[in-house]
Each structure stands twice: as structure tokens, then as C-alpha cells.
Amino acid sequence: MKKKFESLSPEDTLKIAKEFAQELNGNEIVYLKGELGAGKTVFIKGIASYFGIDKNEVNSPTFTLMNIYEGKITIFHLDLYRLSPGEAEEMISDFVGKGLIILEWGDRLKEDIFDLPAFFIEIKVSEEDNREIIIEKIEDK
Ligand SMILES: Nc1ncnc2c1ncn2[C@@H]1O[C@H](COP(=O)(O)OP(=O)(O)OP(=O)(O)O)[C@@H](O)[C@H]1O
Ligand SMILES: [Mg+2]
């Protein structure tokens, strides 16, 4: 099922992400798609704060490739921008079953091959601060 939300500010995006986080129990994979500056990291800040993690701890792991946050659950935050699909797959597979996996540039993977409940989230920039956020749960698993 697909749900669509309109965000008019970073605060809106945080709120939408916190609502979404209520659906998670910490053993899922979340694929985030959206251009540079769309708000992928802002969205992850919202998820993290729902689980008691300080928003300021959450930053794009553009160079480090991965950040790990410990709160009520463990979150593995990966940025696939600089990885090939093969490298990304190898890295992710180490964390399957150990916590919530959230991927910026998740659309770099061609397929959802992991044996985990999965969500695809797309953030589209419409104008200035306006964003359309589309959340889709992959229903066949
Ligand atoms: N409605 C909105 N939702 C989210 N961010 C917004 C919104 N309006 C403006 N912004 C701004 O857009 C930027 C989003 O940055 P963010 O780092 O989350 O993007 P990103 O998609 O993670 O980019 P990157 O691919 O570079 O990691 C922030 O500066 C934020 O303040
Ligand atoms: Mg980012």
C-alpha cells in the first residue's frame, strides 16, 4: 500500500517520519530515494528521535559510509551514493537481523533481496521547501 504526504518544512518531514516510525519494530529495511538535499537525512532524524536517539547524532554518512545509532533499537544508517550495488549488498548483509537498516540512495540497489520487512520511501522536491513523501510497504514479505 502507498501513502502520500505533503511536507512544507523540515519540521513537517520530521513529524511524518516519527509517525512512520510507529510502524517499525527495529528489524526492517528502509530504502530512501530522493535527490541531493531532498530531505533523506531529515527523515532519518525523525525516525531516530522516535527511538530516543538525539537528532544531532544523525548525519549523512557520505564519507564514513555508515553510522550506527543506539537507542531503544539499533539503527544502521548507510549511504549508498559511493558504492556499487555489489559493495552495498555485501555491506548490508552484515547487519541483517541486527537492527533497523536505513539506506540513503536505496534505489542504487536494483532489487530488494534481503529477507526483511521492507519499505520504499521517495522524497520528491516540488518547490523550495515543499516535498512529496511517498511511503510504500512491500507487502509480499
Ligand atoms: N520539507 C522539507 N523537508 C525536509 N528538508 C527540507 C524541507 N524543506 C527544506 N528542507 C531542507 O532541505 C535540506 C535537506 O537536507 P538532507 O541532508 O536531509 O538531504 P538528503 O536528501 O539527505 O541529501 P544528501 O543526498 O546530500 O544526503 C535541509 O537543509 C533542510 O533544511
Ligand atoms: Mg543525506
Annotated domain spans of the chain: 2-137
How confident is the prediction for the chain on average, in pLDDT? 95
What's residue 64's pLDDT?
A: 85
Within 8 A by CB and 6+ apart from 24, the residues are: 30, 47, 73, 100
Greatest Cα-to-Cα distance within the chain, rounded to the nearest angstrom: 38
What's residue 141's pLDDT?
A: 63
Q: Rounded to two decimals, what is the model's pTM?
A: 0.97
Low-confidence residues in the chain, pLDDT < 70: 141
pLDDT tens-place string over residues 86-104? 999 999 999 999 999 999 9
Where do runs of H (alpha helix) occur along 22-65? 40-50
Q: Which amino acid is at 64?
A: T
Q: Which of 12, 31, 41 to mutate to test the pocket of ligand 1 (most atoms within 8 A of CB)?
A: 41
* Separation of CA 73 and ligand 1 centre (Å): 24
Answer yes or no: CATH 3.40.50.720 is held by domain 2-137.
Answer: no
Residue 78, H or E segment: strand 74-79
Is residue 13 within 8 Å of residue 133, measured between CB atoms? yes
